[in-house]
């Protein structure tokens, strides 16, 4: 750093004659101008690249919200097809909204809350199960009889942060 200061101090000792007015001036006081085109340095190229990158980021930020909305919509359109592919072939032909189908897997495979995705009142609740095996056949038949008799209830379980469970 000291060497740089020494160089500038030496510029004060160098005197020049102005070609326009003939006045004597110090080299350190000159305001140099160049009429030709200056060659680009690595720093100039770097600054141009940074400016270009900033402009691209601004354009992307403006389009980002729209792009996200479009991709979410594309994903939502694909979900029903993916859900139907995951369902066993017997259930794929049913006309339920795939968003209304919830996997339970035991003792029944799925529960359908018909109308849930539409945001309206649920029209019906349907239990879906493949042909029961000998083990699960008794359980599914027991569920069917219990529902037909009306022997069911609605309870809400509240679990506190300490782990205590209470039923409402």
Tokens read off for 158:
């509240």
| More confident position, 131 or 31 | 31
Q: What pLDDT digit, counting tens, does each position of 115-159 carry? A: 888 877 888 888 887 766 666 677 878 888 888 888 888 888 899
Q: Are residues 75 and 106 in the same domain?
A: no
Phi-psi region of 163 (alpha: psi -120 to 50; beta: other; left: phi over 0): left
Q: Are residues 118 and 80 in the same domain?
A: no
Whether residue 154 lies inside any domain: the answer is no
Q: What pLDDT digit, counting tens, does each position of 84-112 carry? A: 676 666 666 777 877 888 888 777 778 88
Q: Are 112 and 100 in contact (CB under 8 A)?
A: yes
Q: Are residues 80 and 126 in the same domain?
A: no
What is the chain's mean pLDDT, rounded? 83
Looking at the structure of the chain, the number of domains it has is 2
Whether residue 106 lies inside any domain: the answer is yes
Residue 57: which domain range?
A: 45-86
Please state, in angstroms and as integers, the Cα–Cα distance from residue 6 to each residue in 15, 23, 26, 143, following that order. Answer: 16, 25, 15, 96
In this prediction, residue 51 has a pLDDT band, given cuts at 50, 70 and 90, of: very high
- Whole-model pTM: value is 0.46
């Amino acid at each position: 750093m000291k060497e740089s200061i020494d160089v500038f101090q030496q510029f004060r000792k160098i005197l020049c004659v102005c070609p326009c007015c003939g006045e004597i001036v110090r080299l350190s006081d000159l305001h140099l101008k160049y009429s030709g085109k200056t060659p680009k340095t690595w720093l100039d190229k770097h600054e141009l690249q940074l400016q270009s990158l900033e402009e691209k980021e601004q354009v992307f930020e403006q389009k980002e919200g729209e792009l996200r909305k479009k991709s979410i919509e594309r994903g939502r359109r694909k979900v029903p097809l993916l859900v139907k592919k995951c369902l066993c072939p017997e259930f794929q032909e049913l006309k339920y909204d795939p968003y209304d189908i919830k996997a339970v897997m035991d003792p029944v495979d799925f529960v359908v809350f018909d109308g849930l995705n539409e945001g309206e009142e649920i029209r019906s609740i349907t239990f879906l199960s493949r042909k029961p095996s000998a083990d699960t056949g008794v359980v599914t038949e027991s569920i069917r009889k219990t529902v037909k008799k009306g022997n069911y209830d609605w309870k809400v379980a509240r679990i506190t942060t300490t782990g205590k469970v209470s039923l409402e």
